[in-house]
Structure 1
Amino acid sequence: MSRPPSRSSPVSVFAQRSARAGQARARSQQAAQRPSISGVAQQAGVSVATVSRVLNGHENVRPATRDKVLAAIDASGYRVNELARNLRTAESRLLLTMVPDFGNPFYAEIVRGIDSVARQHGYFMLLCDTGADPGRERSYFDMLRRRRADGAICLDPATIQQALGDASHALPWVACCEFDPSVGVPYAGIDNYQAAGDAVRHLLARGHRRIGLINSDVDYLYARLRQQGYLDALSDAGITPDPRWRMNLNSLDYEAGAAAAAMLTQQADAPSAIFAVSDTLAIGVIHGLRSVGKRVPDDVAVAGFDDISLAAQIDPPLTTIAQPMRELGETAARLLLQRLANPQAEVPGVLLPHRLVIRRST
């Protein structure tokens, strides 16, 4: 025989209601104890509106004030309700960084610079490996079209132009390192023509007349500019560049540099110095020369480009053109935030200074 359903006693019902009320009070107290935007403002000695501008990445906040607000946010543990804000503002607070080759250490410090500025302004950064493939670039830009991301920084804009054509102008992105001023997209980079000329003039000053060039694919603007800087520096010194001294590669990795160096040394009148347009190529060149019994710099001098961390560690340490990698990333991120804050504004391109770092490879 089944038992009739039991009924809760008045005492147990009262206990359950009291427990629920206690839980509600505890949740209310926890919410009251959570850091608030007004608490951050009070701690930083600014208005709530100023804290809001810092959190939303607006540029009209003095750097010292922004630093004070960010310090107060860190100290208080305040966290923005990202979901609520995104629904309210139709923002994702996500920035894409498109890198063509994760294996190239040149990009690492640039990415750190981008991420640093993004976090300071309340954004997250998503690192995208494009492999210099137009289809993959297009799929990432679809995230911008669908508002899954707010903006993008691209380190391979030539591929973007190939993937998107004229449609790329309507999307919020900036170029970093590789750029084309005629495209009309904000950029952060260096003067590649002048930098390459500086490297070649250094080799000329060391007494070299037969200077080889190991270059990237001339479909890239930076490769064309560095090549022209090389050619003009030789011409200005009264040297007619020998086409046999130049090699264009479709790879920037160590193995490609080593193979190219071995081929250059097989010539009857081989170069006594080699300028490579990236440090990864130049480091490969040093290994390639060593493999065929050539000493650096006694037999062949070598200069590179970028000043990645490994450049100072190899034997012999590499003479190179130093790019301000961290600053390039930070500048590109700030340009993108300016574009997002005011889509109608004319955001300029920025050229940062390079410098020649002389080490024992020349």
Structure 2
Amino acid sequence: MNIKMIAEMAGVSVSTVSKIMNNYSDVSEKTKQRVLEIIEQTGYSPSNSAKTLATKKSNLIGVIFAGELNVEFTHPFFVEVLNSFKKQMGVLGYDLIFFSNEKFISSGDYFARAVHFNVDGCVIISGQKMEPTIHDLDMSSIPCIGVDLELKGKKSGFVMSDNFQISSKVVEHFYLLGYRELGFIGSAADSEISNLREAGYTKAIESFALPLNRRWFVHGDDFFESSGYTAMQQLIQSGSLPKAIFAASDLLALGAIRALKEHELRVPEDIAIIGCDDIEACKYTTPRLTTIRQNKERLGILAAHMLYDLINNQSGGGSFVVEPVLIVRESCGSQLKS
């Protein structure tokens, strides 16, 4: 007999059974009594309950790539953050366990699986179209740290780069180089990070009293190269192009450059491009990509220490925002105008 069997017998989710065992208040009394009666009838031992398990440390950390559209292991930015996180958690004495969010998983939501595997805490990597169960996990008693994802639970915290600073540095660099007609390539409309960068970009353009032309603001489906390529194709086909473009990720920027080359447009002579993340590939593209460096190692280390403190009740959550750095290469020129 286990928690999943109890849930099936009661006709409820594994998460609901876990909440009842942890004395959560958001379960109806009727449901609570039904589940407790089944537990009593089956002789399911309280020693196996989620409440008891939660008091026994496993030294395991759950890793969740959140969202229906998630980055998983294919995004170089998050891979570097996660590598840094993994190394630091190892130093602190923890191993990692990866949670799948594929639809065929039937073992319940993230909170239920975190209880099932008795993880000491979770790190949640931001994606798009967040599942509601992420909120349940955030609001639970399980310590959680979000990466590029703002969490608000009492046992949660998050780390991210300063997205408004990222955009401000881009506009300032464009301005000093003499660019006045500025465009933007972002991810999907429901991407929180892309929206933050776009909002910061818009605000910075307005603060420099530059013209804001929304025709030059286009969006892909995600942060990957193919979306950047498609978005730039859309701009080219519109018949109106800006003089400089900020892409919300390096991969979007690389896709945009590929589209421009196919149309025999030169970077930066015809259009300047700045990306964001400073992934390794930026050093080897033609032209080499000017970008905003996010301190991936620092983000990973901060996430590890914050989660460790939450697990050991040494802090009550919080947030760290890491300052970005402009890395000037060839796709935007390197000489500032005096």
**Mind listing any 5+ residue stretches in structure 1 that lack a counterpart?**
1-86
**Mind listing any 5+ residue stretches in structure 2 that lack a counterpart?**
1-52, 333-338
In structure 1, C-alpha distance between the alignment counterparts of 2:107 and 2:274, rounded to whole Å: 32
Matched, 1:238 2:209: yes
Equivalent in 106, 114, 117 of residue 144 of structure 1: 114
Matched, 1:93 2:59: yes
Query: Could you tell me how far 1:286 is from its partner in structure 2?
Result: 0.8
Matched, 1:163 2:129: no
Contact kept, 8 Å, 1:265 with 1:271, in 2: the verdict is no
In structure 2, C-alpha distance between the alignment counterparts of 1:267 and 1:190, rounded to whole Å: 33
In structure 2, C-alpha distance between the alignment counterparts of 1:352 and 1:218, rounded to whole Å: 24
Structure 2 counterpart of 1:288, which letter? Answer: A
Structure 2 counterpart of 1:155, which letter? Answer: I
Report 1:307-322 matches (<5 A).
Answer: 307-322=278-293
Identity of aligned residues (%): 27
For residue 165 of structure 2, what is the aligned residue in structure 1? 194
3-state SS, counterpart of residue 265 of structure 1? helix
In structure 1, C-alpha distance between the alignment counterparts of 2:106 and 2:138, rounded to whole Å: 14
Contact kept, 8 Å, 1:179 with 1:221, in 2: the verdict is no
In structure 2, C-alpha distance between the alignment counterparts of 1:250 and 1:217, rounded to whole Å: 5
CA RMSD, Structure 1 to Structure 2 (Å): 2.8
Q: Runs in 1 of length 4+ with deviation above 6 angstroms?
A: 135-138, 181-184
In structure 2, C-alpha distance between the alignment counterparts of 1:159 and 1:120, rounded to whole Å: 33
Cα distance change on mapping 1:215 and 1:160 into 2, 3 Å: closer
In structure 2, C-alpha distance between the alignment counterparts of 1:180 and 1:124, rounded to whole Å: 23
Higher mean alpha-carbon deviation, 287-296 vs 199-208, is at 199-208
Contact kept, 8 Å, 1:212 with 1:246, in 2: the verdict is yes
Contact kept, 8 Å, 2:273 with 2:331, in 1: the verdict is yes
Query: Could you tell me how far 1:233 is from its partner in structure 2?
Result: 1.4
In structure 1, C-alpha distance between the alignment counterparts of 2:263 and 2:110, rounded to whole Å: 44
In structure 1, C-alpha distance between the alignment counterparts of 2:155 and 2:196, rounded to whole Å: 18
In structure 2, C-alpha distance between the alignment counterparts of 1:112 and 1:290, rounded to whole Å: 34
In structure 2, C-alpha distance between the alignment counterparts of 1:301 and 1:207, rounded to whole Å: 11
Give CA-to-partner distance per residue, 1:190-235, whole Å, 9 cap, x none: 1101211211221122111111100112323222210111111111
Query: Could you tell me how far 1:305 is from its partner in structure 2?
Result: 0.3
How many residues matched? 275
In structure 1, C-alpha distance between the alignment counterparts of 2:119 and 2:172, rounded to whole Å: 44
Report 1:255-270 matches (<5 A).
Answer: 255-270=226-241
Give the TM-score normalised by the residue count of structure 2.
Answer: 0.74
For residue 250 of structure 1, what is the aligned residue in structure 2? 221
Contact kept, 8 Å, 2:111 with 2:136, in 1: the verdict is no
For residue 12 of structure 2, what is the aligned residue in structure 1? none
Structure 1 counterpart of 2:63, which letter? Answer: T
Contact kept, 8 Å, 2:123 with 2:146, in 1: the verdict is yes
In structure 2, C-alpha distance between the alignment counterparts of 1:180 and 1:113, rounded to whole Å: 20
Report 1:215-226 matches (<5 A).
Answer: 215-226=186-197
In structure 1, C-alpha distance between the alignment counterparts of 2:254 and 2:123, rounded to whole Å: 28
For residue 46 of structure 2, what is the aligned residue in structure 1? none
In structure 2, C-alpha distance between the alignment counterparts of 1:341 and 1:308, rounded to whole Å: 33
Larger relative helix fraction: 1
3-state SS, counterpart of residue 304 of structure 1? strand
Q: Return the index of the structure with the highest Cα Rg.
A: 1
Structure 2 counterpart of 1:109, which letter? Answer: E
For residue 275 of structure 2, what is the aligned residue in structure 1? 304
3-state SS, counterpart of residue 250 of structure 1? coil
